[in-house]
Chain A
Amino acid sequence: MAIEPSADYTPSELMTVQAARELPDGAVVFVGIGLPNLACNLARATHAPNLCMIYESGAVGAIPDRVPPSIGDPSLVTGSLMVASMSEIFQFFLQNGKIEVGFLGGAQIDKYGNLNTTVVGSYDAPKVRLPGSGGACEIAIFAQRTLVVMKLNKRAFPEKVDFITSPGMRSLGKSRSEWGMPGGGPVKVITDKCIMEPNPTTGELEVSALYPGATIENVQENVGWKLSVRSPLGTVEPPNATEVKLLREVLDPDRLHIK
């Protein structure tokens, strides 16, 4: 069967599809709500039927039959392979290196892929108090690799974040290996215009692929540091008709996450 490109797609759909394609069949993935959850379910419905989805709440091998509104939804338990306590999730799965892929996002990401979900402004007198780490800091430290899914926006992509909740490739003056962090860090940042990857030497995020129709200029104007661009620049296959149909009709029919 020939794969038809989709006639139209939204930026959220494009991001979700890119994230789904990063998940090999059989991978053990630590899932969050929103687009990452959709991406995992899309991967499971297409090329990765044996994806093992693990949620921070303790559901292991979840196969939710509805879009879970929260990471602790009861539909994650029904039909799952295991319910682990949170102590087991953080110690036996994450700290013990059993999570292959983790998903993260945040209010801010900086040029080294450090994420802030704690405060905008200063900690003691914040302009905006965000929820905090939850398990994000542990996903960033322990997952073998992390995928970040965030829309481009100058305020969300500053040169330096206000607070490092979840460390990226270089934080507080040291690289991940200097800190002794076991996980691989943010190997890809999936935005609505491009994909960024860390430079193997400096750890700085650089543009590795542009989406159809996007230009380096409109990426740069939404980012607070001078972007390096990889040569040759990668290309991205747009979503195909099957992927878009699955997202719209099966995985998120009420458009909770695909805006």
Chain B
Amino acid sequence: MKNKVVNMSEAVASLVQNGDTLVIEGFTHLICFAAAHEIIRQGKKDLTLARLTPDLIYDQMLAAGTAKKLIFSWAGNPGVGSLHAFRRLVECKPRKIEIEEYSHFGMVARFSAGAANLPFWPLRNYMGTDIPGHNPLIKTVTCPFTGETLAAVPGLRPDITVVHAQRADRFGNAQVWGLLGVQKEAAFASKRVIVVAEELVDESVIRNDPNRTLIPGSIVSAVVIEPWGAHPSYAQGYYDRDNDFYVKWDQVARTEESLKEYLDRYVFGVKNRHEYMQIQPELLRLKAKAQISEGVNYGY
């Protein structure tokens, strides 16, 4: 296999096209803000952003004008409240943004179908709710064996998915522990995959613990090594979630002016994640304490 390590700027420039359906997954854990910031810096536009929880990452990307459409299932600031940039777009409609809304299970099912190369995924879901009434892509299907009516959602095949991992080798074999979210499904569903890792390790480290590998290098287009690349979300064993920032975002995003100031300083005002960390040395307080897991015997 060939060495796929590039920097974030090169990865985004060569693999993210205007108009793409883009997924940066990670459920609270391992959300790759470094990739989002680089996409904003490069002025990518007309993206369809898909993710279960748009979180602060897509609130920033929506505010920066990168997107024409959002596909999601829970658009809040976890543990805090609202995503104000998202709310302004939906409530005040300053410019057109299309939204396509599911529940979490619906989004998981869309990625699962995409990853399994199936046209749709059945779920016993949505009866008695108003969700399908506002999303024509949630349909029903009759089970050919039992005659039961099931909900069905179409497979989602993103153009590009970014997965943040704790460690990866130069070929893109990526290992993740802690919350796994829906990253494996999203990556296998995607036409192109960027792996961003906290740490570059030798292939032998991966081979020493293959059960920990979430994404095989064979489906990966590029590898970016970006320590602290998931801040203000977290990387288990590397750094804690910056809950203070999630609370602060509630104020930052409340007006277009304060949001623009944030983007000017922390996104456009720095060249890359390294500079982002350099101007915020206080973030090192989030570094994780050690709680080491024992290895297992892989012998036979």
| B291 CB–A CB distance under 8 Å | yes
User: How distant is the Cα of A179 from the Cα of B127 in the complex, in angstroms?
Assistant: 6
Of the candidates B74, B91, B177, B178, the one whose C-beta lies within 8 Å of that of A131 is: B74
**In the assembly, what is the distance between CA of A59 and CA of B29, in Å?**
12
Q: Is there contact, CB below 8 Å, between A72 and B180?
A: no
Tell me whether B112 is interfacial, beta carbon within 8 Å. yes
Complex Cα–Cα for A138 and B53 (A): 16
Instruction: Find the A residue at minimum CB distance from B81.
Output: A131
Contact B29 A133 (CB under 8 A): no
> Which of A18-26, A164-172, A205-213, A218-226 lies at the interface?
A164-172
Contact call A58/B234, Cβ cutoff below 8 A: no
Q: Is the CB of A137 within 8 A of B129?
A: yes
Q: Which of A83, A84, A132, A171 contacts B75 (CB 8 A)?
A: A132
Residue of chain B at shortest CB distance from A181:
B127
A83 to B124, CA, bound (A): 24
Choose among B72, B105, B130, B236 the residue that contacts A138 (Cβ–Cβ < 8 A).
B105
Best-buried of B112, B125, B236 by chain A (most CB within 10 Å):
B125
Chain A residues, Cβ within 8 Å of B73: 132-134
Q: Is B86 an interface residue (CB 8 A)?
A: yes
Write out, one digit per residue, whether chain B residues 181-202 have a CB within 8 A of any chain A CB (1) or not (0): 1101100000000000000000
- A58, B291: Cβ atoms closer than 8 Å: no
- Do B79 and A33 touch across chains, with their CB atoms under 8 A apart? yes
* Residue of A132, A138, A182 contacting most chain B CB atoms (<10 Å): A132
Task: Tell yes or no: A9 within 8 A of B by CB.
Answer: no
Interface residues of B in 250-300 (CB under 8 A from A): 288, 291
When distances are taken between beta carbons in the complex, the residues of chain A under 8 Å from B134 are 123
B91 surroundings in chain A (CB, below 8 A): 126-129
Verify B29–A132 contact, CB threshold 8 A: no
Q: A77, A128, A137: which contacts B126 (Cβ < 8 A)? A: A137
Q: Nearest B residue to A185 by beta-carbon distance?
A: B128
CB distance from B134 to the nearest CB of A (A): 5
Interchain nearest-CB distance for A217 vs B (Å): 33
Known: A72-B28, A138-B105. A132 touches B178 (CB 8 A): no
Contacts A131-B75, A133-B131, A171-B128: A87 and B182 contacting too (C-beta < 8 A)? yes
Is A129 within 8 A of B87, CB to CB? Answer: yes
**Chain B residues, CB < 8 A from A129:** 75, 86-87, 90-91
Contact in complex: A86, B108 (CB < 8 Å) = yes
Question: What is the distance, in angstroms, from B273's C-beta to the closest C-beta of chain A?
Answer: 20
- Tell whether A138 pairs with B104 under 8 Å between CB atoms, given A72-B29, A123-B134, A131-B75: yes
How many A-B Cβ pairs are below 8 Å? 167
Whether B131 contacts A137 by the Cβ 8 Å rule is yes
Could you say which of A58, A126, A182 contacts B179, with CB atoms under 8 Å apart?
Answer: A58
Contact of A57 among B27, B82, B83, B102 (CB under 8 A): B27
Most buried by B among A87, A94, A182: A87
Q: CB distance B78 to A72 under 8 Å?
A: yes
Q: How far is the CA of A17 from the CA of B255 in the complex (A)?
A: 39
| B71-129 contacts to A (CB < 8 Å) | 72-76, 78-79, 82-83, 86-87, 90-91, 101-105, 108-109, 112, 123-129
Q: Chain A 45-86, CB within 8 Å of chain B: the 1/0 string? A: 000000000001111000000001111111011100001111
- Is there contact, CB below 8 Å, between A72 and B179? yes
Q: How far is the CB of B82 from chain A (nearest CB, A)?
A: 8
- Is A11 interfacial (CB-CB < 8 Å)? no
| Contact (Cβ within 8 A) B241 A86 | no
Classify the secondary structure of A's interface with B: loop
Contact of A70 with B78 at beta-carbon distance under 8 Å, contacts A87-B112, A133-B131 already known: yes
In B6-29, the 8 Å CB interface with A consists of 27-29
Task: Name the residue among B76, B123, B124, B243 with the largest chain A CB count within 10 angstroms.
Answer: B124
Report chain B residues within 8 Å CB of A56. Answer: 104
Closest Cβ–Cβ distance, residue A4 to chain B (whole Å)? 33
Chain A residues with CB under 8 A of B184: 85
CB closest residue in chain B, given A79? B291
- Say whether, besides A69-B243, A74-B234, A135-B104, A165 and B27 are in contact (CB < 8 Å): no
Residue of B nearest to A166 (CB): B129
B115 — nearest CB in chain A belongs to which residue?
A: A87
Q: Is the CB of B74 within 8 A of A132?
A: yes
Is B52 on the interface with A (CB-CB < 8 A)? Answer: yes
> B226 an interface residue at 8 Å Cβ cutoff?
no
Smallest CB-CB separation from B181: which chain A residue? A86
Interface string of B126-150 (1 = CB under 8 A from A): 1111110010000000000000100
What residues of chain B lie closer than 8 Å to A176, measured between beta carbons?
A: 128
Q: Cα distance A126–B88 when bound, in Å? A: 11
Contact A74 B105 (CB under 8 A): no
Asked whether, in the complex, the Cβ of B90 is within 8 Å of the Cβ of A126, the reply is: yes
Q: Known: A164-B128, A171-B129. Is A71-B103 also a contact (CB below 8 A)? A: no
Closest 10 CB pairs of A and B: A72-B28, A131-B76, A134-B74, A167-B128, A171-B128, A133-B103, A70-B79, A70-B78, A90-B105, A179-B127
Return 8 A-B CB contacts under 8 Å, by A number.
Answer: A69-B241, A70-B241, A73-B28, A95-B105, A95-B123, A132-B73, A137-B126, A166-B129
